[in-house]
């Protein structure tokens, strides 16, 4: 793996946390790791610097045409269509733009984004048909990706790209940095849960989905994923609760009504 360009990266968090990395990209990660161990930086600052170096390094490597050979890895576990997390078919920041009354631009203010999100959830819950529901759902998903941080946005983009390239280990490291830097960002936990599920780390995936739902109880993709996993685990009563909640939030969620009916029959057969 060879790059012929020299790079200078400057990372900064607040006034007290600044770090410069200069050199050729193949050595970028090693320089960041070895240099960090010699500096007296807070753990959060170290996570930020290394994650940013990783994200930018991936971009630099892709631009220069890195070439690698590797043994094919087994196909990861995936959730049903519409539930999957980092996905090349729906690239971050490039989701289809819904029609009015959904705004085409994302508000800069966190307060305004939260208000718009509440409004869209209300419209979704009362949607009269599937088309109206889909338009509102797309608007909601665009808002989910608005973290308010350029760094977190970059890491999320890189995680989606590496996951689509069948590199879940790298995607997981990037998402680890996301939840470290933005622990109150529900979408970060939801996205990491999907990568953990693909890596067969089921208990951790469930934990991340529950964390996402604690932050945003209306997160319909997290509800869908949680219901699916609980159903796979044989926890039918808990799965039924998750799917019922999903239908309250998103009445036209794909396959949810049918799944609720099936689970209701199965749970009734078990005796409540």
Looking at per-residue pLDDT, the higher value among 226 and 57 belongs to: 226
pLDDT at residue number 80? 55
- At 6-31, the pLDDT tens digits run 444 444 544 445 444 444 433 333 33
CA distance 142 to 213: 17
pLDDT at 106: 87
Name the residue with higher pLDDT: 33 or 86: 86
Q: Per the structure block, which two tokens stand in for 149?
A: 């941080």
Average of per-residue pLDDT across 123-137: 96
Read off the pLDDT band of 174 (50, 70, 90). Answer: very high
6 three-state secondary structure: strand
Find the mean pLDDT for residues 158-184. Answer: 97
Q: What's residue 156's pLDDT?
A: 97
Tokens of 61: 């490597």
Q: What percent of the chain has pLDDT over 70?
A: 61
Q: How would you class 171 by CB atoms within 10 Å of its CB: exposed for 0-12, middle for 13-18, buried for 19 or more?
A: buried
pLDDT at residue 134, rounded to an integer: 96
Buried b (16+ CB within 10 A) or exposed e, 74-90: eeebebeebbbbbbeee
pLDDT tens digit sequence for 215-262: 999 999 999 999 999 999 999 999 999 999 999 999 999 999 999 999
Angle between helices 236-249 and 256-270 (to 10 degrees): 150
β-pair type (17-24, 6-13): antiparallel
- Cβ pair 121, 249 in contact under 8 A: yes
What percent of the chain clears pLDDT 90, i.e. is strictly above it? 58
- pLDDT for 47 equals 53
Tell me: pLDDT of 92 over 50: no
How far apart CA 82 and CA 85 sit, in angstroms, is 9
Question: Looking at residue 35, what is its pLDDT?
Answer: 43
From 228, 255, 183, 204, select the one nearest 84 (Cα to Cα): 228
Q: 238: which 2 tokens?
A: 């808990």
| pTM (two decimals) | 0.70
Residue 3: pLDDT over 50: no
Instruction: Give residue 90's pLDDT band: very low, low, confident or very high (50, 70, 90).
Output: very low
The CATH-assigned architecture of domain 184-270 is Alpha Horseshoe (1.25)
Given a cut of 70, is residue 96 above it in pLDDT? Answer: no
Rounded mean pLDDT of 94-103?
A: 43
Instruction: Provide the residue ranges of all domains of the chain, joining segments of one domain with +.
Output: 6-64, 184-270
Between helix 168-181 and helix 43-64 the angle, nearest 10°, is 140
Average pLDDT over residues 153-161: 97
pLDDT digits (tens, 9 = 90+) for 28-45: 333 344 444 444 555 555
Asked whether 2 and 26 are in contact (CB, 8 A), the reply is yes
Q: Average pLDDT of the chain?
A: 77
Is 70 a residue whose pLDDT tops 60?
Answer: no
Between these two residues, 140 and 10, which has the higher pLDDT value?
Answer: 140
């Amino acid at each position: 793996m060879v790059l012929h360009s020299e790079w200078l990266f400057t990372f900064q968090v607040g006034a007290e946390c600044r770090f410069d990395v200069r050199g050729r990209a193949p050595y970028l990660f090693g320089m960041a790791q070895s240099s960090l161990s010699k500096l007296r930086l807070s753990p959060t600052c170290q996570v930020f610097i290394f994650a940013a170096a990783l994200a930018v390094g991936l971009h630099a490597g892709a631009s220069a045409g890195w070439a690698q050979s590797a043994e094919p890895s087994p196909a990861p576990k995936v959730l049903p269509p519409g539930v999957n997390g980092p996905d090349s078919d729906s690239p971050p920041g490039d989701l289809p733009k819904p029609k009015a009354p959904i705004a085409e631009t994302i508000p800069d203010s966190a307060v305004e984004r939260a208000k718009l999100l509440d409004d869209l959830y209300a419209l979704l819950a009362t949607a009269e048909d599937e088309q109206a529901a889909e338009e509102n759902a797309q608007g909601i998903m665009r808002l989910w990706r608005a973290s308010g941080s350029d760094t977190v946005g970059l890491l999320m983009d890189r995680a989606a790209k590496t996951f689509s390239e069948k590199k879940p280990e790298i995607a997981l490291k990037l998402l680890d940095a996301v939840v470290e830097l933005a622990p109150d960002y529900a979408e970060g936990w939801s996205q990491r849960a999907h990568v953990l599920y693909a890596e067969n780390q089921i208990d951790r995936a469930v934990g991340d989905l529950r964390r996402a739902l604690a932050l945003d109880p209306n997160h319909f993709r997290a509800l869908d994923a949680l219901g699916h996993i609980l159903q796979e685990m044989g926890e039918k009563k808990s799965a039924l609760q998750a799917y019922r909640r999903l239908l309250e939030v998103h009445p036209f969620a794909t396959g949810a009504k049918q799944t609720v009916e099936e689970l209701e029959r199965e749970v009734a057969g078990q005796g409540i």
